[in-house]
Every structure is written in C-alpha cells, then in structure tokens.
Amino acid sequence: MNDLIFLEPVFHGKLWGGRRMEEEYGYELPDGPVGECWAISAHPNGDCKVQGGSWDGRYLSQLWDEHRELFGNLEGDRFPLLIKILDAQDDLSIQVHPDDAYANEHENGSLGKRECWYILDAREGGDIVVGQRAANRDEFAQMVEDGRWDDLLNRVPIKKDDFFQIDPGTVHAILGGTLVLETQQSSDVTYRVYDFDRRQADGSLRELHLKQATDVIDYATKAPENGTVTAPEVDGVTQLVSTPNYAVERVRVTSDAPVTMRQEWPFLNVSVVEGSGSVLANGTKADLPKGTHFIAPANSGDLVFEGNMMLIVSHV
C-alpha cells in the first residue's frame, strides 16, 4: 500500500509560545501558550498519529518499526527526521545542540540535533541569534559569567522567507514575533545557555546546561549575516539546503503552473505553509489546506501539485 500518510500534529505548551497557529492554520490548540507543533514526528516526546487511509489511527513510530518498506527499507532504529512549526511570541532561550557522537554518549543514545529554519513570518525589524563571538571555551564562559550578552551573541536581522541552517555546535535562539518551519533530526536534546532569568508557572527558573553547552559549541563556526535565499528557483522548486541528515526544498505552486515532483527517495515530508491546493499520487487526489502535513512513502509515485500554495519538502 502506497497511500500518502497524513498526520495529526502534536502540540507542546511553551513559556514563550502563543496562540497564532490557531488563526494561521486552524489548529485546535490545547489551553495556554503553545510554542511547538510537531507536525511530522515519531519521537517518543511527540509521536504523530495517522489520519485516514490504510494506516488510520496508527502511530508513525509503529509504521517505521513494522512497515519499513514504506520508507524504502531505510536502515536505522528510529524515523530520522522531525518537522515542526514554532510560534515564538516571546524569545526562546539561548541554546546549542550536540552532534550525534556527543548525544549518543551523554544523552542515552539520542541522535544529535542538526536543524534548519524557514521563516514563515517575522515582525518588522525582527532578528534572531545565530552564532557567537567567543574564540574558545574559557572566553565564552567568562563572557557568560559577566553577562556580556550583547558582545557575545551574533544577532541577524530577519524577514519572511529567509532561511537558516543551524549545525550542531551553533549557538542560536529564535526571538519573539517569529513563526518558523523547522526541519531537524529526530532529537529533543537542547542545552540552554541563558533563559533571560524567566520564571516558570511554579516560580522556578528553567535549568541551564553550561557545562554541556561549552563542551559542544563549535567556536570556529562562521555566523551568517542574513538569511536571504539566493538559490535559483527551477520549475517552482528551490533547493534550500543539503546536509548529511536532510535536504530541504521550497516548492511554489500556482494555478497556471502545477508542479510535478518525482518520488525517488525513501520518503518525502511535505508541509503546506501557505495557500491551498491538491496533490495527485497514484491516481488518487487529495485536498491540501494550509497547515496540512504528510509523508509520501517510497513508491508512492510522482506527486502532482495543483492550486496556489507554498510547500516545504524534505527527505534524507
């Protein structure tokens, strides 16, 4: 069976979140500030359930474990990617993620966390943190102790449709007023460097992880100056990045220019981030309202997209 696998998102309340995904995508959110929509995930902290089709009601992790043929018999003990939408009404913590080797050793066999951000929306004059200016571990620790955040952190101005690749070891933070589609390895390991001394609902401060952070920071990483996408768009498709863990593309579909994508990968993750339309696969047509997320499994055939919409597509 090669049905497209439509998934029910999992939502996570966050101190820094808001309610924007309710109005943008029509999602039914839990009460309180919601920061993250785990849209395509088989991670234990947010395992998505299949909606409709042959696998209705099954979890993505179950399909990965029991029907590996859907994913081209890809090797590995877990579905490798995780797709999120983040609604940062307030600033996220200053943080850094480990690579596979460090996470495997120190985080009970977890994957590391390479990730990238497509900026779906940003407030006027908004910015984010990508990169830091300390030359080594000792200098970083001293600048943190002295609270010299303006000197330490590299802030980058952002606008809608910018794109940023965040490799393990890169200090970063999404700041308030930003809506992001994140493609990442299937990992939930984050080392917080600074959280603006914010209090949680119970009055406590969130835990910081300075030792782990200074272990994993890549002090030689060159910080970006901007996130403008310069890659060419060919037949509606722009390749945003290709890394050892994933490749990500932006697909623009218009009423007078349908887009056909060949399915030549173990699987494709597809998210409708603007507009709406439809997809035809193996002779079956499905509507794609804004905020829809699905997986095109191996051998699902070419995908023909019609309508007026923008998609973010990823694969291993």
pLDDT at 307 over 90: yes
Q: Are residues 203 and 84 in the same domain?
A: yes
Q: Are residues 178 and 298 in the same domain?
A: no
> Quick one: what percent of the chain has pLDDT higher than 90?
96
Kindly state whether residue 157 falls inside one of the protein's structural domains. Answer: yes
Q: Are 92 and 172 in contact (CB under 8 A)?
A: no
Catalogue the active-site residues.
192
Structural domain span for residue 180: 5-216
Q: Are residues 88 and 189 in the same domain?
A: yes
The residue out of 155, 186, 216 marking a domain boundary is 216
Q: Which of the four pLDDT bands, split at 50, 70 and 90, describes residue 65?
A: very high
Cα(97)–Cα(244) distance, integer angstroms: 16
Q: Are residues 245 and 197 in the same domain?
A: no
Q: Which two tokens stand for residue 242?
A: 């290709």
Give the number of domains in the chain. 2
Question: CA-based angle 148:152:153, to the nearest 5?
Answer: 120
Nearest to 40 by CA among 283, 300, 273: 273
Q: Are residues 190 and 295 in the same domain?
A: no
The residue out of 216, 251, 267 marking a domain boundary is 216
Q: Are residues 307 and 168 in the same domain?
A: no
Q: Are residues 264 and 188 in the same domain?
A: no
Kindly state whether residue 228 falls inside one of the protein's structural domains. Answer: no
pLDDT of residue 2: 66
Query: Which has the higher per-residue pLDDT, 115 or 205?
Result: 115
Kindly state whether residue 307 falls inside one of the protein's structural domains. Answer: yes
Q: Are residues 76 and 210 in the same domain?
A: yes
Task: Say which CATH number the domain at 287 has.
Answer: 2.60.120.10
Q: Are 258 and 304 in contact (CB under 8 A)?
A: yes
Nearest to 315 by CA among 253, 255, 240, 254: 240
Q: Are residues 76 and 139 in the same domain?
A: yes
Residue pLDDT, tens place only, 229-276: 999 999 999 999 999 999 999 999 999 999 999 999 999 999 999 999
Got the DSSP string for 134-174? -SSHHHHHHHHHTT-HHHHEEEEE--TT-EEEE-TT--EE-
The residue out of 216, 250, 267 marking a domain boundary is 216
